[in-house]
Structure 1
Amino acid sequence: MNHVLRGLATNAALSSESLDRLIAVADADLAGDLAGRADLRRAQAVALLSRVEECGVQLAYAGLLTTADIDPAAQPHAALALLDEGSGSPEWARLFAVDPVVEHREKLAACPGLPPDVVETLAADPEVRVVTELALWTTPDMAARLAEHPHAEVRRAVAANEATPPGVLAALITGEGLPPARRCLVCDREETPFVHDPFCPRPDCDLLPGASCDGSHESTVHAMRQSALGNPATPTEAVVGFADHPSTLLRRALAVRPDLPPQVCARLASDPAPGVRADLAENPATDDALIRELADDPDSDVRRRLAHHPRVPLDVLTRLARTARIGATLLPRIAAASSAEVQELARSRDPAARMLLAQRRDLPPAVRDVLAADPDAKVVKSIAPHPGLTEGQLRAMVDRHGVRVLAQAAKNPDGSAALLQHLTRHEPPVPQAFRVIARHRNATAPTLLACLADERARPIAADHPALPPSVIVELLTDADGAVVEAAAGNPSLPLAVLSELVP
Structure 2
Amino acid sequence: MLAGLAENPALPADLVDRLVAAPHRPFELACRPDLSGPQLDALIARDAHGVALSRHLPPQVRHRLAAHPDPSVRVALVISATPDERDLFERFTADPAPEVREQLAQCDHTPADLRARLAHDPAPGVRAALGQYWTAAPEPVRRVLLTDPEDGVRAAACATYFRRLPHPVPPADLVPALLADPLTRAGAAPHCDPDTTDLAGLAADPDPEVRRALATHPGLPAAIRDRLAADPRALVRLAVLARPDTPAAARAALHDSVTGPWEPPGEDVDEETAIEIEIDRFGAGAELRMLRLPWVTADPLPHLDSPHPVFRRAAAASTDLPAEARARLLADPDNEVALAAARSSSDPIDPVTAERLDRGHRPFKRMRWRPADAFPLPVQTLRRLAADPAPRMRLLALRDPDLPAALLERLAADPEERVRRAAASHPAHTPAAFRALLDDPSPSVHRAAAANPALPVEEMRARLDAAGL
Q: Report the TM-score when normalising by structure 1.
A: 0.62
Residue in 1 that maps onto 2:263: none
Secondary structure class of the residue paired with 1:484: helix
The reply to whether residue 360 of structure 1 matches residue 342 of structure 2 is: yes
Q: 8 Å contact 2:105–2:115 — kept in the other structure? A: no
* 8 Å CA contact retained: 1:9, 1:22: yes
Identify the residue that residue 287 of structure 1 maps to in structure 2: 244
The equivalent of 1:122 in structure 2 is 121
Q: Counterparts in 2 of 1:240-259, with a 5 A limit?
A: 241=199, 242-256=202-216, 259=218
| Shift in Å, 1:106 | 4.4
Q: Does 1:309 align with 2:293?
A: yes
1:325-340 aligned at under 5 Å gives the runs 331-338=313-320, 340=322
Separation in 1 of the partners of 2:115 and 2:332?
62
Structure 2 residue 344 is matched with structure 1 residue 381 = no
Task: Report whether the alignment pairs 1:453 with 2:428.
Answer: no
Distance in 2 between the 1:336 and 1:8 partners?
46
Contact 1:10 1:489 in 2 (8 A): yes
Find out whether 1:166 has 2:150 as its counterpart. no
Counterpart code for 2:3: R
Q: Is the contact made by 1:11 and 1:490 (CA closer than 8 Å) also made in structure 2?
A: yes
Residue equivalent to 2:305: 318
Q: Deviations over 1:9-62 (max 9, x none)?
A: 22232234544543444857x23x23444x4468589544444112244225x6
What is the rounded CA distance, in whole Å, between the counterparts of 1:174 and 1:331 in structure 2? 35
Instruction: Tell me how far 1:471 sits from its aligned partner.
Output: 0.9
Q: Residues 309 and 262 of structure 1: is their aligned pair in 2 closer, same or farther, counting only changes over 3 Å?
A: farther
| Superposed displacement of residue 250, structure 1 | 1.7
Question: Equivalent of 1:430, from 383, 387, 390?
Answer: 390
Partner of residue 69 from structure 2, selected from 74, 79, 94: 74
Deviation string 1:348-386 (CA, Å, 9 cap, x unpaired) is: 898538984465154746x848x75xxxxxx97238799
CA 1:454–1:129: 2 relative to 1, 3 Å: same
Q: State the Cα deviation string for residues 246-271 of structure 1 (Å, max 9, x = none).
A: 322222234456x5557465654454
For residue 463 of structure 1, give the secondary structure of its aligned residue in structure 2.
coil
Report if aligned partners of 1:6, 1:485 keep a CA contact under 8 Å in 2.
yes
Equivalent positions of 1:261-280 (< 5 A) are 261=220, 263=222, 268-280=228-240
Alpha-carbon deviation of 1:292? 6.7
Measured against aligned partners, the alpha-carbon deviations of 1:99-144 in whole angstroms (never above 9, x if no partner) come to 3x55445445656457699758733x5xx44554466558654554
* Maintained 8 Å contact 2:385/2:396: no
- Alpha carbons 2:93, 2:118 under 8 Å: kept: no
- Superposed CA RMSD in Å reads 4.7
* Paired amino acid for 1:461: A
Q: Deviations over 1:54-95 (max 9, x none)?
A: 2244225x6754653324243533434555756344773365
The alpha carbon displacement at 1:332 in A equals 4.1
Partner of residue 193, structure 1: none
Q: Could you tell me which runs of 5 or more consecutive residues in structure 2 were left unpaired when the two chains were aligned.
A: 260-283, 362-369
| CA 120–318 in structure 1, closer or farther in 2 if over 3 Å, else same | closer
User: Where does residue 346 of structure 1 map in the other structure?
Assistant: 327
Q: 1:350 to 1:244 in 2, by over 3 A?
A: farther
Tell me the CA shift for residue 470 of structure 1: 1.4
Change (3 A) 1:296 1:72: same
Structure 1 unaligned blocks of 5 or more: 176-220, 373-378, 387-406
Which residue is equivalent to 1:472? 434
Question: How far apart are the structure 1 equivalents of 2:35 and 2:385?
Answer: 43
Equivalent positions of 1:382-421 (< 5 A) are 382=357, 413-416=376-379, 419-421=381-383
1:294 offset after TM fit, Å?
1.6
Query: Does the 8 Å CA contact 1:281/1:294 hold for their aligned counterparts?
Result: yes
Determine which structure has more spread, i.e. the larger CA radius of gyration: 1
Change in CA separation of 1:261 and 1:12 when aligned onto 2, cut-off 3 Å = farther
- Please report how far the alpha carbon of residue 276 of structure 1 lies from its aligned counterpart in structure 2 after TM superposition: 1.7
SS at match of 2:11: coil
Percent of paired sites with the same residue: 24
Deviation per CA, 1:285-318, whole angstroms, max 9, x where unpaired? x326646742453132679559752343446443
Provide the rounded CA distance (Å) in 1 between the counterparts of 2:88 and 2:429.
49
Match of 1:209 in 2: none
Distance 1:450 1:156, change over 3 A: same
Structure 1 equivalent of residue 9 of structure 2:
12
Secondary structure of the residue that 2:158 maps to in structure 1?
helix
Query: Residue 305 of structure 2 contacts residue 312 of structure 2 at CA under 8 Å; is this kept in 1?
Result: no
CA 1:164/1:82 → structure 2, altered by over 3 Å: closer, same or farther? Answer: farther
- Report the CA distance between 1:167 and its aligned residue: 4.5
Shift of 1:483: 1.4
| Residues 160-199 of structure 1 mapped to structure 2, 5 A cutoff | 160=159, 166-167=171-172, 169-175=174-180
Note the alpha carbon deviations across 1:141-195, whole angstroms, 9 max, x for none. 45544555543223323434877861464154234xxxxxxxxxxxxxxxxxxxx
Pick the aligned partner of 2:53 from 55, 58, 65. 58
Aligned length: 401
Query: 3-state SS of the aligned residue for 2:395?
Result: helix
Distance 1:164 1:90 in 2: 28
Does the 8 Å contact 1:93/1:108 carry over to 2? yes
1:470–1:288 Cα change, 3 Å? farther
